[in-house]
Amino acid sequence: MPSVLPDGEPMPDDGALPPRALEGAGERPLGFYLHVPYCATRCGYCDFNTYTASELRGTGGVLASRDNYAEQVVEEIRLARKVLGDDPRPVRTVFVGGGTPTLLAAGDLVRMLGAIRDEFGLADDAEVTTEANPESVDPAYLGELREGGFNRISFGMQSARQHVLKVLDRTHTPGRPEACVGEARAAGFEHVNLDLIYGTPGESDDDWRASLEAAIGAGPDHVSAYALIVEEGTQLARRIRRGEVPMTDDDVHADRYLIADSVLAEAGFEWYEVSNWATSEAGRCFHNELYWRGADWWGAGPGAHSHVGGVRWWNVKHPGAYAAALAAGRSPGAGREILADEDRRVERILLELRLREGVELSILKPAGLAAAGAPCRTAPRPRVVRGGAGRPDPAGRLLADAVVRDLVD
Ligand SMILES: C[S@@+](CC[C@H](N)C(=O)[O-])C[C@H]1O[C@@H](n2cnc3c(N)ncnc32)[C@H](O)[C@@H]1O
Ligand code: SF4
């Protein structure tokens, strides 16, 4: 969740949606994202909407405290129930992200999930994920989460090399994320993800291979690998400007991506989105697929974004402002935009082009169709795959931005 909020029209105090947003809702899956905006320390590369204790001191008083955070999120889930009205859909996915969700007591995460279960009901096959920092969990904590209904967990591993973790300001030791996978499996988690970052200044190809191999060896059924983005305003950007560490390099990123794809494929992981690989369909992250396929999701928590039936809105950013809005009985929404049909079409192309299944031909206009070259017309739903005509290969995936410009015409 990026920390800069867009402009938009104001959100009504009661958070009500235009009736059109709820039309046909029963046919779309519904997910919840619960944001936890706290971290023990801030990693120098991270621009997410998260706060350390010292960053919060004096800015939101007791309201911004993490002690009563779960209760605030429960309040927003109750608001969601009112706004979505008689919507009969049980929730298909819940994803608790951060920040560091596992800085909260396991019971707090279970309580927030319980509110979704009470207000909406959970689908029988609901996917319930939390992100976790490797240094912040132990077997008892993981057992409590599993017992409370979480069935998927995503650990921020980033790298297996100490010198890379140091540049990233990560506080866990090499080997700890891999041990976490074993602890999560022992606790009964069906699905486990490891997040990796490539292209960190000072990382070599060999370091990256070692990270991939360590991740695979730990036995997750999902791996996400992201190119390190140097976000403006971060400590990492300042260090690069001062010449303390070298700038990241696009060509290096491209090479590392190709290494990731081949090492993961050899180990039985299939890519299904540009940055995501899974050992089977069941191992894919269905919650992320809701985002990529333009389904409905409610994002609770400071700065969280939501989307229901073509209406997108976002909450106030600061934990103090968030708590204050809920305490006053107001929606924490800061603004919203009602997407025009053409906006939704372009967005669908942007997102679907990242997916293995590609973009459905039926949403392209004649110019976009012509640019698509020779798409796969024999598929059950004719589509253009990433990289243009019939090129779902890794090199094609790297060309996405150029392809997308032609397809949206
Ligand atoms: C924001 S973190 C939240 C979860 C948890 N606190 C952690 O750090 O693992 C989610 C993931 O975003 C990715 N991420 C955050 N900032 C990034 C950046 N500047 N470049 C690339 N990946 C980034 C990391 O891989 C991280 O695992
Ligand atoms: S622990 Fe995760 S969310 Fe927190 S600062 Fe580091 S990358 Fe960002």
pLDDT digits (tens, 9 = 90+) for 272-331: 998 999 999 999 999 999 998 889 999 999 999 999 999 999 999 999 999 999 999 999
Ligand 2 pocket member 98 (CB < 6 A): yes
pLDDT tens-place string over residues 4-48:
666 678 899 999 999 999 998 888 999 999 999 999 999 999 999
Pocket test for ligand 2, best of 52, 100, 194, 195 (most atoms within 8 A of CB): 100
Q: How would residue 91 be classed by pLDDT, with cut points 50, 70 and 90?
A: very high
Q: To test ligand 2's pocket by mutation, which of 133, 136, 165, 224 has the most ligand atoms within 8 angstroms of CB?
A: 133
What is the residue whose two structure tokens read 């132990």? 138
* pTM of this structure: 0.93
Residue 128 tokens read as 């319930």
Distance CA(207)–CA(204), nearest Å, equals 5
353: CB partners within 8 A, 6+ apart: 359, 384, 386, 400, 403, 404, 407
Q: How many Å lie between the centroid of ligand 2 and the Cα of residue 127?
A: 23
Query: Atom 2, ligand 2: which residue's CA is nearest?
Result: 99
Residue 330, SS3? Answer: coil
Report the separation in Å between the CA atom of 46 and the middle of ligand 1, taken as the mean of its atom positions: 7
Could you tell me the distance, in angstroms and rounded to a whole number, from the CA of residue 130 to the centre of ligand 2?
14
Cβ of 97 less than 6 Å from ligand 2: no
Ligand 1: atom nearest CA of 100 is: 6
pLDDT (0 to 100) of residue 18: 93
DSSP state of 355: B
Q: Which CATH class is domain 19-292?
A: alpha beta
Q: 100 alpha carbon to ligand 2 midpoint, in Å? A: 7
Ligand 2 atom closest to the Cα of residue 46 is 8
Ligand closest to CA 171:
2
Query: 15: closest CA among 77, 87, 95, 60?
Result: 77
Ligand minimally distant from the alpha carbon of residue 45: 1
How many angstroms separate the alpha carbon of residue 341 from the centre of ligand 2?
Answer: 35
User: Which bound ligand lies closest to the C-alpha atom of 41?
Assistant: 2
CA-wise closest residue to 83 among 388, 311, 403: 311
Query: Nearest C-alpha to atom 8 of ligand 2 is from which residue?
Result: 46
Residue of 137, 161, 163, 166 whose CA lies nearest to 150: 137
d(CA 365, CA 351): 17
Ligand 2 centroid from CA 292, angstroms: 23
292 residue type, one letter: W
pLDDT band for position 352 (cuts 50, 70, 90): confident
Lowest mean pLDDT segment, chosen from 96-105, 112-121, 157-166, 287-296: 287-296
Q: Which residues contact 95 (CB under 8 A, 6 or more apart)?
A: 31, 32, 33, 34, 129, 130, 131, 287, 288
Residues within 6 Å of ligand 1 by CB: 45-46, 48, 97-98, 100, 131, 133, 156, 158, 195, 197, 226, 228-229, 231
The answer to whether residue 360 scores a pLDDT higher than 80 is: no
CATH 3.20.20.70 maps onto the chain at 19-292
The amino acid present at 332, given as its one-letter code, is P
Answer yes or no: is pLDDT of 394 > 80.
no
User: 339 and 347 in contact (C-beta within 8 Å)?
Assistant: yes
Task: Report the nearest-CA residue for atom 16 of ligand 1.
Answer: 46
Beta carbons of 28 and 96 less than 8 angstroms apart: no
* Alpha-carbon torsion, ordered 403, 404, 407, 409, to 10 deg: -120
Nearest to 84 by CA among 306, 338, 326: 306
Compute the Cα dihedral for 313, 314, 316, 322 and give only its sign: positive
Residue 383 CB burial class (10 angstroms; 0-12, 13-18, ≥19): buried
How high is the pLDDT of residue 61? 57
- Strand order, beta sheet including 333-338: 270-273, 276-278, 222-227, 191-198, 152-158, 122-132, 91-98, 30-36, 296-300, 305-308, 311-315, 333-338
Cα-trace Rg, the chain:
21
| Cα 157 to middle of ligand 2, angstroms | 11
Tokens representing residue 144 in the block: 């409590």
pLDDT at 372 (0 to 100): 66
Judge whether 129 and 285 are in contact, CB under 8 Å: yes
| Per-residue model confidence as pLDDT tens digits over 228-241 | 999 999 999 999 99
Question: Which of 259-263, 333-337, 382-386 is predicted with the least confidence, judged by mean pLDDT?
Answer: 382-386
Integer CA distances (angstroms), 242 to 175, 203, 235, 247, 268, in order:
32, 19, 11, 11, 42
Q: Return the bridge partners of 305, or none.
A: 314
